[in-house]
Structure 1
């Protein structure tokens, strides 16, 4: 006997509530599994191409894993020490930069920055906080055995989870498909394909955009001669995954550093601002249309809301699943709107069956 629409909504709603409650209860325990699943999902198209070329699935997985490990080793030996040195130097230099800013402003605006003024006390407090805060945070993090264990679990377990998921990806998908309710299997498969197209196209495309922007910002800021420009540029490119946030954050940091370093040489300061303005133009008019095209069906506001909501609900694991969840919810929302427009509630009781069928097909 077929279930009524009310029963179907009830059962699917209960399943969704149980899934969300499971994510909330498990919390950070799921972190290595989420990262491993994301890695396997992103690498699965490459594994499929190798299998189509005649390479066995196990051999293809081993080859991809070996290439990934080699890349990580090269990054650890070459890139990571350089970036770590840059970040450490930036943290060490911040108190001196603030002191320099205070002296410059004190010379130009002596009344505003007179001894005992609120602005002067605020800058002094900021300087003291930067000296003591970084060491305090670092000490607390290193002294927390739980944080260290969590980090080791993520580093060790994520590649293992990714390897086994990548090797058995097709079998897992087939097993999940076999569990689908037969009545709804075609619709679920169609929605899953649409979600995969949106999510895969967005993630792979946006990662390419972020990498290209990071390289552009880093090279441009380094060419200008901005201290720590490479670190700030790469950070801006990485955070560009969230629309506009990367350019704003990178622009604010770079302009602040430029004011310290090039005070009085306003052409260099303007050049730093022009780099991020050019980056926004390149991203919006060249990179996004060429790489993403019409694959991106996630509105920036919806993406920012999803990151905020899932981050507040589940913490850092929520940030990792926010984009996939936003893609799936978007597909389901479009499906629900199409169903609504094909029904009598939208068209009214006088609408014929033919019109509803035509709307549903569209």
Structure 2
């Protein structure tokens, strides 16, 4: 005999509450494992493809790990030092940029600097914050996000976790499938398949889009001669998965830096703006339709809301799980809406009469 609905809601509610509490208290500890699971999920189709080519699961996982390790070493040797150097220099010259901006605005828009005006006070406050906290921001970021312990955990634990999860991914899915409650197993499998399809389209597709666009922006801006082109490309590519935000933030940052570096050289400024314009055309007409698809099921507003809520509550770990949780909730809401339209609450007497007349 199946459990009553009230009992099922109670058990699932308690399970969800325990999960959220554990996430709240163990966020920093869970981070390497969440990242490893995300990497394993991202690479599982590659392992499946290698298996169809005749590789064993262990051999496929080993090949993927060696290729990933090679790419990681190349990035460490070729990209990361330049990225860190540019980011450090950008934060160090932030006070100079603030002073130059203030001088430019004073020359072009003197009405903004009328003593005791609201605009003047706001600009002074911004300049003081940039000058006094620019270096402190870098130091805080390095202390909190790149301490020796965190670096060791991320560099050592994440690849190990990803390797073993990727090796046993199909077995884990089979085990979980065997533990599903028998009364609800078919519906759970159907909903899980929809969630997986949504995640596959978004996470794997948008991950590839972010990588392609970030590489394109970085290389193109560096070829134009923008001093911090690698940082701008990295930032723009990293947040491309948030609709429109990547292009807006990256474009504003690139054009803002270009104004200081290329003032009067309108050709270079036009090239910087054209790079982001072309990137948006390529993303909207080629990359996203081919790699992500149009029917992902994650509305931009819902995605931004989920990232904001989970990021605020649970930090970086919350942002990692925001997308799969948002996808799962979206699938459940659509399923609930479909069930509601089939219920007597929706159809009522008029719907019953229409159905009887059709019969």
TM-score (norm 2): 0.88
1:1-362 alignment, distance < 5 Å: 1-109=1-109, 112-113=112-113, 126=126, 129-140=129-140, 147-349=147-349, 351-352=351-352
| CA distance in 1 between partners of 2:183 and 2:354 (Å) | 23
CA deviation vs aligned residue, 1:22-77 (integer Å, no higher than 9, x gap):
22232221101100000111111111222222222122212211111111001101
Contact 1:197/1:295 (CA < 8 Å) preserved in 2?
no
Contact 2:92/2:135 (CA < 8 Å) preserved in 1?
no
CA deviation vs aligned residue, 1:268-323 (integer Å, no higher than 9, x gap):
43443333233323322332122222342111011001101111221111001001
Any idea what SS the aligned residue of 2:26 has? Answer: helix
| CA distance in 2 between partners of 1:146 and 1:216 (Å) | 27
Q: 1:344: how far off? A: 1.1
Contact 2:34/2:320 (CA < 8 Å) preserved in 1?
yes
Contact 1:215/1:234 (CA < 8 Å) preserved in 2?
yes
Decide whether aligned partners of structure 1 residues 118 and 171 sit closer, same or farther in structure 2, where only a CA change above 3 A counts.
same
| CA distance in 1 between partners of 2:18 and 2:109 (Å) | 61
Contact 1:142/1:148 (CA < 8 Å) preserved in 2?
no
Decide whether aligned partners of structure 1 residues 115 and 148 sit closer, same or farther in structure 2, where only a CA change above 3 A counts.
farther
Q: 1:144: how far off? A: 6.5
Any idea what SS the aligned residue of 1:315 has? Answer: helix
Any idea what SS the aligned residue of 2:241 has? Answer: coil
More deviation, 86-95/125-134: 125-134
Output the aligned Cα RMSD. Answer: 2.9
Decide whether aligned partners of structure 1 residues 145 and 247 sit closer, same or farther in structure 2, where only a CA change above 3 A counts.
closer
Decide whether aligned partners of structure 1 residues 352 and 127 sit closer, same or farther in structure 2, where only a CA change above 3 A counts.
closer
More deviation, 78-87/17-26: 17-26
What stretches of structure 2 of length at least 5 have no aligned partner? none
| CA distance in 2 between partners of 1:222 and 1:324 (Å) | 35
CA deviation vs aligned residue, 1:101-130 (integer Å, no higher than 9, x gap):
333444445565479988677666655654
| CA distance in 2 between partners of 1:264 and 1:151 (Å) | 43
CA deviation vs aligned residue, 1:210-261 (integer Å, no higher than 9, x gap):
1222233233333433221232123112211111111111121112112212
Any idea what SS the aligned residue of 2:55 has? Answer: coil
More deviation, 263-272/253-262: 263-272
CA deviation vs aligned residue, 1:66-102 (integer Å, no higher than 9, x gap):
1111110011011111222222222233333333333
| CA distance in 2 between partners of 1:190 and 1:110 (Å) | 64
Any idea what SS the aligned residue of 1:296 has? Answer: coil
Contact 1:37/1:162 (CA < 8 Å) preserved in 2?
yes
Q: 1:209: how far off? A: 1.5
More deviation, 318-327/293-302: 293-302
TM-score (norm 1): 0.87
| CA distance in 1 between partners of 2:111 and 2:103 (Å) | 13
Contact 2:310/2:322 (CA < 8 Å) preserved in 1?
yes
| CA distance in 2 between partners of 1:145 and 1:219 (Å) | 26
